Amino acid sequence: MISAASQDHPAPERRHAGAASVAVVDTQRTELLKLDNISKIFGGVKALQSIKFDVMPGEVLCLAGENGCGKSTLIKVISGVYQPEPDAVMLMDGQSIEGLDPAKARELGIQVIWQDLALFPEMTVAENIAFEQNLGPRPRLVNYRQMKVAARRILERLGVSIDLGRSVRSLSIAQRQIVAIARALVADARLVFMDEPTASLSHAETEALLKIVRRLSADGIAVVFVSHRLAEVLDVCTRVTVLRDGQYVGTFPTAGMTQTRLTELMTGRTFDYAVRTTDLSAAPVVLQVADLTRRGEYDAVSFAVRKGEILGVTGRLGAGRTELALSLFGMTRPGAGSISLDGKKLSLGSNRDAIRAGIAYVSEDRLQLGLVQPQSIGDNTVAAVLDDLLDATRLISLKKRDSLITDWIEQLAVKIGKPEDAVSTLSGGNQQRIVLAKWLATNPKLLILDSPTVGVDVGARAGIFAIIHKLAAQGMAILLISDEIPEVYFNADRILHMRNGRVVREYVPGATSIDQIERDVHA
């Protein structure tokens, strides 16, 4: 076990004041939930080994660890999906829990909001929120008036307003998160697990969600928060329980904890944080953007990216970062201005034009736009270069295909079972490596990375950025877009700050402090 008292390394991050509004844990009270000696074995593989876990009423607790550490398995044990091995101790309000299954867990007030939210997209907001109220052993008529009253009451309790008659499909991801939380409260939740609730949210949407989490805490509802965004963990949680490789590392107060220290606890490794100091002022320009404008999205944007340079772009919600990236990749047409690659002006009518010119784009939405989840790892890897795999008969050469797949899996150190496995079987970090492989196979001159570490754990993030640094060292020009300022600060040579569709300032990491950039961006 690692001691919480061991020396921290210098950290690029700080605690935020928001944590002060979370309910203070009274350690003299009985734990809402207390587990001891929780183990789970699948086919001889020890997914969990003698885990300890406890959460107090009204507490916001973080359950932290890399992908594959056992977090999801532990949550499924607590929610009755899996049965632990014999000799496990499970107490709720000090009383032993026997024969726990999903129905009994819900009766006890245990609710889980998984990352996919498990909502019904074609049903209305009210129907989704009050869904469980209409379940029962016998068929019965649905009381829509009562359903709307219950849904409205819960949303008012959360301090939000959403049209109860709208279909969930029409809602933003942030609004769907609120609907999922409201559904848990209708079911009289006392303990809510939130699995990566902010993975697809903007900074502003995340702040709104954390405000709701604090409101739940103030109402006495315990929340277990699972997130790879460690700044949020330190902001909203009072304690953090760390798992590594299915084992219990420890439970630590977040007061005084840094992202660096928490990363070390989760991974067992030390990470060095240092700004890039490469002088690329004499390197040839790969991408030149001049006065690029698209009405309502971005305005008079000008910048250059040089060979081997990583240019960071950051800013708040609505800054126009992704909209700019889509135009650079030919997905939308700018109304004015120019784009040049290697000194040649481009007229991009589609993403195919951009790919042919030598531009690759890794979308921020890996699940929907980056990968075809049901298809194999191999098929996803070669999806953008099928024309290059054709033989003399205009059919795909299996030899070329298999060679390319093997080559990129080895180069990017992707951990897989078999190339024929569905890409959905991979962890978030390995899925992102497959997205990179798909685009690197096109041999691009410019690689656009839009929030490349969304939903990726801290250890895998370091591996992905190591790949990005290697690509830059080989001469690739890279545009790195992220709303996580430490990501661009420690991985980019220069940083552009976008606000309301315009570039308002340029920074050089090291010459400007990360605190100054964060103040400017969030002012």
- At 378-414, the pLDDT tens digits run 999 999 888 888 888 889 999 999 999 998 888 888 8
- Which residues are CB-contacts of 140 (< 8 A; sequence separation ≥ 6)? 134
Please, are residues 494 and 506 in contact by the beta-carbon 8 Å criterion? yes
Decide whether 1-109+190-269 matches 284-358+444-523 in CATH topology. yes
pLDDT at 4 over 50: no
Instruction: Tell me the residue length of the chain.
Output: 523
Which pLDDT belongs to residue 20?
Answer: 39
| C-alpha–C-alpha distance, residues 29 and 523, integer Å | 41
What region does 390 belong to: left with phi over 0, alpha with psi -120 to 50, or beta?
beta
Local structure of 99: helix, strand or coil: coil
Q: What is the pLDDT of residues 157-212, one digit of tens each?
A: 898 999 999 999 999 888 999 999 999 988 889 999 999 888 767 667 888 899 99
Please, are residues 248 and 50 in contact by the beta-carbon 8 Å criterion? yes
Q: What's the chain's Rg over C-alpha atoms?
A: 24
- Could you give the percent of the chain with pLDDT greater than 90? 55
> Could you tell me what percentage of the chain is helix, strand and coil, using 3-state DSSP and rounding each to the nearest 5?
35, 25, 40
Q: What is the pLDDT of residues 24-49, one digit of tens each?
A: 555 556 899 999 999 999 888 899 99
Task: Kindly state the tokens that stand for 27.
Answer: 């350690």
Model confidence at 135, pLDDT cuts 50, 70, 90, reads low
Q: Are strands 95-96 and 89-92 parallel, antiparallel or unpaired?
A: antiparallel
Model confidence at 272, pLDDT cuts 50, 70, 90, reads low
- CATH architecture of the region 1-109+190-269: 3-Layer(aba) Sandwich (3.40)
- Supply the mean pLDDT for the chain: 87
Helix (H) or strand (E) segment spanning residue 495: strand 494-499
Q: In what order do the strands lie in the sheet with 502-507?
A: 359-362, 446-450, 477-481, 310-314, 494-499, 502-507
Q: pTM above the 0.75 mark? A: no
pLDDT at 21 over 60: no
- Could you give the percent of the chain with pLDDT greater than 70? 91
Task: Kindly state the tokens that stand for 272.
Answer: 């060095």
Any idea where the domains of the chain sit in the sequence?
A: 1-109+190-269, 121-187, 284-358+444-523, 373-443
Mean pLDDT is lowest, of 256-265, 266-275, 503-512, for: 266-275
Which pLDDT belongs to residue 335?
Answer: 96
Please, are residues 432 and 464 in contact by the beta-carbon 8 Å criterion? yes
Task: Kindly state the tokens that stand for 159.
Answer: 């301090």
- Can you name the CATH fold of 284-358+444-523? Rossmann fold (3.40.50)
pLDDT at 479 over 50: yes
Neighbours of 316 (CB within 10 A): 17
Local structure of 181: helix, strand or coil: helix
Mean pLDDT is lowest, of 93-107, 207-221, 247-261, 425-439, for: 425-439
pLDDT at 491 over 90: yes
Q: What is the pLDDT of residues 326-367, one digit of tens each?
A: 999 999 999 999 999 999 999 999 999 999 999 999 987 766
Q: Quick one: average pLDDT of 152-158? A: 91
| C-alpha–C-alpha distance, residues 107 and 143, integer Å | 22
Q: Helices H, strands E: what count in the chain?
A: 16, 20
